[in-house]
Structure 1
């Protein structure tokens, strides 16, 4: 009778696939069609379809649901996609390390960041990285704060930047930046005439929120609960651009970073009002893979993001990293 160890080894021994199959599986999941995925990675459609079927057969479970107009991942497929992306990331990191040994500071660094950080800070920081390390390519993934931490935890990204109210993480962290929220209001709104607003002024009104997992919406919900008030958030959007469009049409009000509001207020689409309270100052945290899992290129980029001198585009004053402990307090 076979032992458990022998049974596990036998099951693993039956699993055979190559990087082309992994790339095909990932592309099919992203594009929703094996023909489009085959075109992306330069495979014949018939060969691609056969590879997907053989991949599923090895695990003994359907990874895709066949629909009239495409393919959608099953629950099992979504679980395996996370493993496939982790493996692809490991291969890319292996290539990165080999390239670094051959040519010095070369390679690909995958950076995940929340939208607020992308819009306000990262363009400047990535430019500095390019100037300092022209051989390093930065692959930027934009997600909400929760998605950023998940991406780094799963190995999909080397470095992540997220908003600190999300809570703690076991990953190595250090302070990154801070911003200040303002209230964006339609013209003619009762709050538009105020010079400053407090939390209790905001909560009675319809608020345009960001999608599930966004740190800003989660923090606002916690603040409302702590004050014993109800948060009215019937409309949720995926980006500040969409939020601005809703506000401009008078559908509601919204909180966004002051610098983001400056970018989106073109054509005098809506007004902004200062927000009172320490809660309106947000702190961002830089996290990364454990040192033993980081390439030399990744460590170089992480160090530059954390320490590079930064300038305000309007005042010319240096922007310092936030003055808080490296590991953010857990959300309460």
Structure 2
């Protein structure tokens, strides 16, 4: 049996419609539903998927009795497809911004802590300094922020520094202080302050994988040779606050975030002793040669904001 020739770069051709069809098929599990989403005839959609697979010489979907499921190869290519679709959307946004007389669009990825505490005020100030810059904000955890800038999904990122180093250019941004949030009837509720040793014996409400708070607490517990009792993982400080209010566990959150969420006396906050409770946020960005003038103007405005200088 003759072997199928290896696909080469100059023989791989597809359009944006095919990429959107592939993404929709992966999400919906059926090419007919995907065709309906992007307004294609089912037969034409099925042919596009087959031609897409043929160009790479691999099966991207397993054909099942009641739908289609991504193969391992399909899952790997889906990440690239989504990046390409996002890049096209960025290109369209930039073109629209310039057509309307703006300086351009800057994609900013930021961790939730920074968004809730600092970034809204700083973006307002940046908008006053540079009204022609449009900002597309993507809220992620710290790990997701670095990945987004590394993969060029975002131009600028703001994350918590204990995540570790990166090859990207970085600048200091802001600081915050963690506090312990506890139910009113909790044994630690009446303490004037607590240490790491006080916290570790109790069930903790953690933030989802990649969040700087959870990663840092896990490292500290390991260094102390202690077990971290992460009872439940949630995706936001709002969800953490709701769990704490129902006495499901205790949690760590920035002091300013705790003030915002405690409303109606939902929980109590206790100061935490130790330098580890002070966190530093970092701005990272694409290499200067890859940054637009509007992107660098935004970075400069963020690092020179009065609130940022107070923490330097």
> TM-score when scaled to structure 1?
0.81
Q: Distance in 2 between matches of 1:134 and 1:36?
A: 42
Deviation (angstroms), 1:61: 2.5
Residue 278 of structure 1: aligned partner: 275
Q: Which moved more, 1:25-34 or 1:222-231?
A: 25-34
- 1:127 is aligned to 124
SS in 2 for 1:283: strand
Greater shift, 50-59 or 247-256, is seen at: 50-59
Structure 1 residues 12 and 19 mapped into 2: Cα distance closer, same or farther (>3 Å)? same
Inter-CA distance 162–21: structure 2 relative to 1 (3 Å threshold):
same
Q: Are the structure 2 counterparts of residues 24 and 174 from structure 1 closer, same or farther at C-alpha, using a change threshold of 3 Å?
A: farther
- Aligned alpha-carbon RMSD (Å): 2.8
Are 1:256 and 2:245 an aligned pair?
no
Match of 1:211 in 2: 208
Relative to structure 1, the CA distance from residue 203 to residue 186 in structure 2 (aligned partners, 3 Å threshold; closer, same or farther) is same
From 161, 164, 168, the counterpart of 1:171: 168
Decide whether the 8 Å contact of 1:99 with 1:106 is kept in 2: no
The secondary structure found in structure 1 opposite 2:189 is helix
Q: Distance in 2 between matches of 1:187 and 1:70?
A: 50
Q: By how many angstroms is 1:52 displaced?
A: 3.1
- State the partner residue of 2:139: 142
**CA distance in 2 between partners of 1:93 and 1:124 (Å):** 25
**Number of residue pairs matched by the alignment:** 308
Q: Say if 2:279 is the partner of 1:320.
A: no
16 and 153 in structure 1: CA distance in 2 versus 1, 3 angstrom threshold: same
State the secondary structure of the residue aligned to 1:168.
Answer: coil
Query: Aligned partners of 1:46, 1:127: CA distance in 2, in Å?
Result: 50
Gap change, CA 1:47 and 1:110, over 3 Å in 2: farther
Q: 5 Å matches for 1:168-317? A: 168-310=165-307
User: What's the CA shift for 1:24?
Assistant: 3.5
Superposed, 1:156-167 pairs within 5 Å as: 156-167=153-164
- Residues 98 and 104 of structure 2 are in contact (CA less than 8 Å); yes or no, is this contact kept in structure 1? no
Cα deviation, 1:86-110, whole Å, max 9, x if unaligned, reads: 4345445555665676665433222
Deviates more, 1:216-225 or 1:67-76: 67-76
What pairs up with 1:83-102 in 2 under 5 angstroms? 83-92=80-89, 94-95=91-92
Change (3 A) 1:32 1:109: farther
Distance 1:130 1:47, change over 3 A: farther
| Residues 67-99 of structure 1, C-alpha deviations (whole Å, 9 max, x = no match) | 677655443233223323443454455556656
State the shift of 1:135 in Å: 3.9
Query: For residues 308 and 269 of structure 1, what CA distance do their matches in structure 2 show?
Result: 33
How much does 1:146 deviate? Answer: 1.0
Rate the CA distance shift 1:102–1:289 in 2: closer, same or farther, 3 A: same
How far the C-alpha of 1:262 sits from its partner, in A, is: 1.3
Task: List runs of 5+ in structure 2 lacking aligned partners.
Answer: none
